[in-house]
Amino acid sequence: MAELRFTKDHEWIRVADGDTCEVGISDFAQGQLGDVVFVELPEVGKTIAKGGQAAVVESVKAASDIYAPVSGSVVAVNDALTGEPGLVNTDPTGKGWFFKIKASNTAEFQDLMDQAAYDAFVKSQG
């Protein structure tokens, strides 16, 4: 499995194929949200700038925006989340991915944290 990279907003990104990447939220984020009851996915073809609002996740506790870790265009969404939003809780970095984005600037990956840096970031927040 390709390496995950993380944002300070708790999104993860993983290169799936070439410059196409899967995006979701971290295990920490889903734990903070609690039971996910609804996910609003972006439209395929939508162009999003790094840090731009891409999706919405709603839980029993709150609704949260999901931001794009890198700039690009949405090439696929995880339709399984429409009928089974709880996948975000049970498999946040696997079957619970939100969308795939074709990255337009791979240099933006350098601003993202690897697993060790993200774990240290989460620990510093608590």
Is residue 33 pLDDT above 60, yes or no?
A: yes
Confirm if 29 and 10 have CB atoms less than 8 A apart.
Answer: yes
Burial per residue of 94-112, b for 16 or more beta-carbon CB atoms within 10 angstroms, e otherwise: eebbbbbbbbeeeebeeeb
The string of pLDDT tens digits covering residues 61-116 is 999 999 999 999 999 999 999 999 999 999 999 999 999 999 999 899 989 999 99
User: Strands, E, within 9-126: which ranges?
Assistant: 11-17, 20-25, 36-40, 47-48, 53-59, 63-67, 72-77, 99-103
* Number of domains, the chain: 1
pTM of the model: 0.95
pLDDT value of residue 118: 97
Distance CA 32, CA 107 (A): 30
- Where residue 71 sits, what CATH number does that domain have? 2.40.50.100
**Residue 41, domain extent:** 5-125
Q: In the structure, what pLDDT confidence band is assigned to residue 9 with cuts at 50, 70 and 90? A: very high
